[in-house]
Amino acid sequence: QQQVKQSPQSLIVQKGGISIINCAYENTAFDYFPWYQQFPGKGPALLIAIRPDVSEKKEGRFTISFNKSAKQFSLHIMDSQPGDSATYFCAARPRGSQGNLIFGKGTKLSVKP
Amino acid sequence: GAVVSQHPSRVICKSGTSVKIECRSLDFQATTMFWYRQFPKQSLMLMATSNEGSKATYEQGVEKDKFLINHASLTLSTLTVTSAHPEDSSFYICSAAPPTGDTEAFFGQGTRLTVV
């Protein structure tokens, strides 16, 4: 049973547009929600992360919005660029774990020039 | 930032042989490391948790005798795919988190295993 559901599966955005990826979780015992960016043939790299006591976090063009009551969190990429084209994974860390993560299924983002 | 190095990045082996993949934490000691498997265009699935000085903890459905994990030091964990078969072909990724504080997990660059 997947505990983190991610949508959409794929996304096409024009350069300069806003990319929005959504995730929902089913287990309340998570204490950390990171987003990872992965390019083909590479390991995932941390993009931005949020804890459940915060409703929004912004780092440059990347913003996480977190809705604890709805058990949802989303990634917004402002002014999307072709270089942002990659697969994005949301994840959740079980409380008390030592770093293992439960990943969403990923969203393949393509930013058209 | 903290770096996790994985080697090799690519390996091709013949069916029936064994392949070892190394995962090193370069600037922190990792008492725990994690091994993930990723099929093409799919998500990362946790295979096992590697514990320094003790046996690894495997996720349900992962064969411990096929995927041998050794975590003999605080900076090195190895995954050995034994008697490899074509269906073991996949992208294997390790991760580790510094033990101090509430920090992120760092991922290695992954190993593309192709069994022919």
Contacts of B102 in chain A (CB under 8 A): 32
Q: Which residues of A touch B106 (CB under 8 A)?
A: 46
Is A5 part of the contact surface with chain B (CB cutoff 8 Å)? no
So what's the pLDDT on residue B103? 66
The band of A100, judged by pLDDT with boundaries at 50, 70 and 90, is confident
Note down pLDDT in tens along chain B; length 116 residues.
568 999 999 999 999 999 999 999 998 888 889 999 999 888 999 999 998 888 899 999 999 999 999 998 889 999 999 999 999 999 999 999 777 656 678 899 999 999 99
Cross-chain Cβ contact A49/B104 below 8 Å: yes
DSSP code of residue B94 = E
Closest CA to A102 of A34, A32, A27, A4: A4
Using one digit for the tens of pLDDT, what is the confidence trace for A47-99?
999 998 999 999 999 999 999 999 999 999 999 999 999 999 999 988 877 77
Query: What whole-number distance in Å separates Cα of residue A32 and Cα of residue A50?
Result: 6
User: What was the pLDDT predicted at A99?
Assistant: 75
Place of tokens 């459905």: B61
Tokens 């949020």 identify what position? Answer: A50
